[in-house]
Amino acid sequence: MSAEPMLPEKVAGALEEYGRLLGEHGITWGEPEIHYVKFFARRKVLPPALFDRFWKLVFKSVAERYPGEPADHVGARLSEADYDRVLRDTLDGVLPGHLVALRVRADGHTLEGTPRTVLVPLQPAGARRRSRVPVQRVAPPLPGRGEERIPLLIDSSRDEPCLVSVDDTERLLGPRGAWLVEVDHDSTIVVDGARVRLDPLLRLTQAARLRLVAGMPCRWSVRDADGSGWFPADTPNRYDYHGRPYFHGDDLLVEVPALPLTITVARGMEYGEASLDLTPDPGLEHLIRLTPERIYDAAARNWYGADMHVHLNWAGDHVGVPADAAAAQHGEDLHVLNLLAGNVSGRRVYDREALDHWTGEDLPWSDATHIARMGVEYRNDLLGHIYAFAPRAAPLRFHTGFDGDADWPPNADGLRELRGLGALVGYSHPFRTPIADGAPPKGVVSPVPRNCAARELVADAALGLVDSLDVLTHASIPATAAVYRRLIGAGNRLAVTAGTDAMISFTRSDNQSNPPGWARVYAQLEGPLTARAFAVAVRAGRTFATTGPWLELSVNGHGPGHVIRARAGDRVTVSAAAIGPEVAAVRIRTADGVRAGAERLPGGDEPLTVKADIEVDAPTYIVAEVLCHPHPRTMTTTGYALTSPVYVDVDGRQVARREDVLWCLEWLHLLEDLIKQHGRLAGPYQFGDHVSLLEQARAVYAARLS
């Protein structure tokens, strides 16, 4: 089996091993099926709008098994539910376009779903892509590349068991049971001894060929009328948050049906998109020239955009290879890409071999305006996950609390080690549970004990161990922004960053199968782009994070990260401006809330600006934020942008708003109780280490109250 020519031997060997895991175990690669791993296959077919309903039904199912159990104990057992039954009940009879259902009833069975277009092959068969990205290309046969299997939901309404087989797998479905599987056009499906054929859902169509040219690497989408995507040969069939197919490159060949198509080209958030509709002639090649136009040019202003949290491989429905990451980075014009080595739910650290080989070096496809590095995700599901950018070496420990290991030592130990290795560090995908302004911190720790929330952040930030917080993530942006304001209001100086947790090895996965860089942190550098210069800029707080809009903040002529030393009664002049078709409002915030704002209707092209003169009587911070109208550029639920603060110290005092400090102290109390109730600890001394850390943080916050 070959992973990719010219790769280091250990890296190629690891990719081939991942291919074997995928072939043997499917999308989980054999990882222990904790609740979010068990969700992988169901997430692939479930529309994002139904995720909340799915998890409510999972919670309800488990709660019914354990009547009277507290919510947090139910939340610790979520993996015990029958996820296929829950999927069936969540869909409630309505099928997404890419899902087929086999309904098994007392009197027989029926097949439901949107017909699949199958091409009559052109001669010569197949189409190979060409790309101008100067990296080695993948060589088959890693499984899953260029293939899109058909997800099939077998749904029994019978009151008695039903014997079903799919290819070599046989299952006795329980009464009113469900089973989600993947099949091919020629799979053998048998119900009650009778063969079920997929032929009625296959539509044979004459083929044509497109040659796609933009003049630079871009993101392309080729869709037919029913939303199905068409891709170059041997290219993973990826779909974004909106269900749009996409792939990257330039000068590409794609075989397509001779049916009405929509072809779109884009190139990350600094560009718009161009598109055309075409019905190609059967058997012919059509040259398509499309180029997206720039909306803004960050690098020309010495601002460079990064995604601090991307995985090449993290289980999934195909194996990601370095060429995939290279094509995505250049096709999205993403200046900085942080590819993280990390575990899933067991002890295996994916892409560890790539980290070991390229630690401390730019990855081979880097150039003057694009750098990629191997980094680390340090993970504990109870305490939180941490990104590390540009460490000089691999850490000794990558995770705690998995596969029988204790939730020890505290994350603070991992942060100290990574910082000692020179890495830029921050908490990733901090909060998914809704947490509004004015809400208590209970949402940080409940209702699911191990949901990857950044719970130890409140202590580590107080102790100066954290450089940044990924406010823009695949989780809840509004909740994380609300918590971020509490943290900086309580005196913690954290830069705003963005880490999408995009997973190149997944093709349909909500916003995690989006291209890297769908949210970015922009940092203002003081010289050429290097990994070190970027890290220095983030540590200095010269950043803003965005899902698309360009955002500027000026306080007395200074940008994010600056500290203004004022006297009580001084006034500061503040302006904020945003660019982008999705921009709905620009607001100026201080520790006391929104101080000024401007709004506009959808479709505006001009910058939206707001200005204010603010009198400062107490220490504060000033940030700018953008609220967004719904827009196709926004590849998640909520469009948003936020700057790091300009800090205003007054009479030598830094901001430490009493209400925010007390909020953080309550958070510490809840965290200690969470560790006591749900921590996996080998003995009292391990719990004592956690308590010691929390006591140190309490002392810091208590001092800020005086």
285-322 tens-digit pLDDT: 999 999 999 999 999 999 999 999 999 999 999 999 99
Are 554 and 602 in the same domain? yes
pLDDT at 4: 59
Mean pLDDT of 177-205: 94
Kindly state whether residue 109 falls inside one of the protein's structural domains.
Answer: yes
Structural contact between residues 222 and 229, judged by C-beta atoms closer than 8 angstroms: yes
pLDDT at 431: 95
Q: What is the CATH number of the domain that holds 590?
A: 2.60.40.10
Cα gap 446→433, rounded to integer Å: 8
At 345, give phi and psi (nearest 5°).
Answer: -130, -5
pLDDT (tens digit per residue) in 10-41 = 999 999 999 999 999 999 999 999 999 999 99
CA within 13 Å, CB half, 659 = 10
DSSP assigned state of 367? B
Kindly state whether residue 682 falls inside one of the protein's structural domains.
Answer: yes
Cα gap 166→179, rounded to integer Å: 11
- Report the chain's C-alpha Rg in angstroms: 26
Residues ≥6 apart with Cβ < 8 Å to 92: none
Please determine, for residue 687, whether its predicted confidence score (pLDDT) is greater than 50.
Answer: yes
Are 359 and 452 in the same domain? yes
The candidate with the shortest Cα–Cα distance to 646, out of 513, 553, 509, 584, is 553
Torsion of CA 277, 281, 285, 291, to 10 degrees: -10
Structural contact between residues 373 and 363, judged by C-beta atoms closer than 8 angstroms: yes
pLDDT at 605: 81
Structural contact between residues 456 and 675, judged by C-beta atoms closer than 8 angstroms: no
Which of 160, 181, 202 is the endpoint of a domain? 181
Please determine, for residue 506, whether its predicted confidence score (pLDDT) is greater than 80.
Answer: yes
Torsion of CA 119, 124, 125, 129, to 10 degrees: -100
The candidate with the shortest Cα–Cα distance to 535, out of 301, 270, 306, 367, is 306
Are 315 and 331 in the same domain? yes
Cα gap 361→352, rounded to integer Å: 15
Q: What is the CATH number of the domain that holds 534?
A: 3.20.20.140
Kindly state whether residue 10 falls inside one of the protein's structural domains.
Answer: no
Kindly state whether residue 23 falls inside one of the protein's structural domains.
Answer: no
Residues ≥6 apart with Cβ < 8 Å to 669: none
pLDDT (tens digit per residue) in 88-136 = 999 999 999 999 999 999 999 999 999 999 999 886 544 444 444 444 4
Structural contact between residues 144 and 234, judged by C-beta atoms closer than 8 angstroms: no
Cα gap 624→518, rounded to integer Å: 20
Are 167 and 278 in the same domain? no
pLDDT at 129: 40
Structural contact between residues 2 and 11, judged by C-beta atoms closer than 8 angstroms: no
Structural contact between residues 429 and 477, judged by C-beta atoms closer than 8 angstroms: no
Are 329 and 358 in the same domain? yes
Which of 162, 181, 200 is the endpoint of a domain? 181
For residue 686, how many other CB atoms are within 10 A of its CB? 18
Please determine, for residue 5, whether its predicted confidence score (pLDDT) is greater than 60.
Answer: no
Least confident of 112-126, 157-171, 377-391, 684-698: 112-126
Residue 672: strand, helix, or coil: helix
Are 196 and 337 in the same domain? no
pLDDT (tens digit per residue) in 574-608 = 999 999 999 999 999 999 999 999 999 888 788 99
Are 171 and 284 in the same domain? no
pLDDT at 196: 94
Structural contact between residues 597 and 588, judged by C-beta atoms closer than 8 angstroms: yes
DSSP assigned state of 267? -
Q: What percent of the chain has pLDDT over 70?
A: 96
The candidate with the shortest Cα–Cα distance to 393, out of 376, 413, 416, 411, is 376
Strand 468-472 and strand 424-427: the pairing is: parallel
Residue 308: strand, helix, or coil: strand
Cα gap 570→618, rounded to integer Å: 10
Contacts 24+ apart (CB under 8 A), 72-75: 72/446, 72/447, 72/448, 72/449, 72/677, 72/678, 74/447, 75/446, 75/447, 75/448, 75/449, 75/451
Residue 165: strand, helix, or coil: strand
Mean pLDDT of 491-517: 98
CA within 13 Å, CB half, 255 = 20
Least confident of 37-51, 135-149, 326-340, 515-529: 135-149
Are 451 and 307 in the same domain? yes
Residue 284: strand, helix, or coil: coil
pLDDT at 659: 98
Place of tokens 């390229």: 358
pLDDT at 446: 85
Mean pLDDT of 159-167: 95
Q: How many residues does the chain have?
A: 706
Residue 286: strand, helix, or coil: strand
pLDDT at 121: 86
Are 198 and 110 in the same domain? no
Roughly how many angstroms between the first and final C-alpha of the chain, as a whole number?
Answer: 65
Which of 234, 264, 294 is the endpoint of a domain? 294
CA within 13 Å, CB half, 506 = 30
Q: Structure tokens of 589?
A: 């915030």
SS (H, E, C) 202-223: EEEEEEEEEEEECCCCEEEEEE
Q: Structure tokens of 18?
A: 């991942």
Kindly state whether residue 602 falls inside one of the protein's structural domains.
Answer: yes
Cα gap 152→661, rounded to integer Å: 52
Residue 24: strand, helix, or coil: helix
Cα gap 431→45, rounded to integer Å: 24
pLDDT at 604: 78
Sheet strand arrangement including 150-156: 108-112, 100-105, 150-156, 178-183
- Strands (DSSP E) found in 332-410: 336-341, 371-380, 384-389
Kindly state whether residue 142 falls inside one of the protein's structural domains.
Answer: yes
Residues ≥6 apart with Cβ < 8 Å to 352: 14, 341, 394, 398
Are 103 and 143 in the same domain? no
Residues ≥6 apart with Cβ < 8 Å to 685: none
Are 285 and 216 in the same domain? yes
CA 55 to chain CA centroid, nearest Å: 19
Residues ≥6 apart with Cβ < 8 Å to 648: 555, 563, 564, 566, 572, 616, 619, 620, 621, 622, 655
The mean pLDDT of the chain is: 95
Please give the residue range of the domain that contains residue 381: 303-546+672-706
pLDDT at 142: 80
Number of domains the chain contains: 4
Residues ≥6 apart with Cβ < 8 Å to 567: 650, 651
The candidate with the shortest Cα–Cα distance to 332, out of 641, 639, 11, 635, is 635
The candidate with the shortest Cα–Cα distance to 229, out of 36, 220, 41, is 220
Kindly state whether residue 22 falls inside one of the protein's structural domains.
Answer: no
Sorting pLDDT into bands at 50, 70 and 90, what band is 141? low
Structural contact between residues 263 and 271, judged by C-beta atoms closer than 8 angstroms: no
Cα gap 452→78, rounded to integer Å: 14
CA 11 to chain CA centroid, nearest Å: 24
Kindly state whether residue 16 falls inside one of the protein's structural domains.
Answer: no
pLDDT (tens digit per residue) in 254-265 = 999 999 999 999
What is the identity of the amino acid at 526? E
Neighbouring-strand partners of residue 585: 599, 627
What is the identity of the amino acid at 187? S
Are 529 and 596 in the same domain? no
Angstrom distances, CA of residue 13 to CA of 29, 208, 346:
16, 37, 20
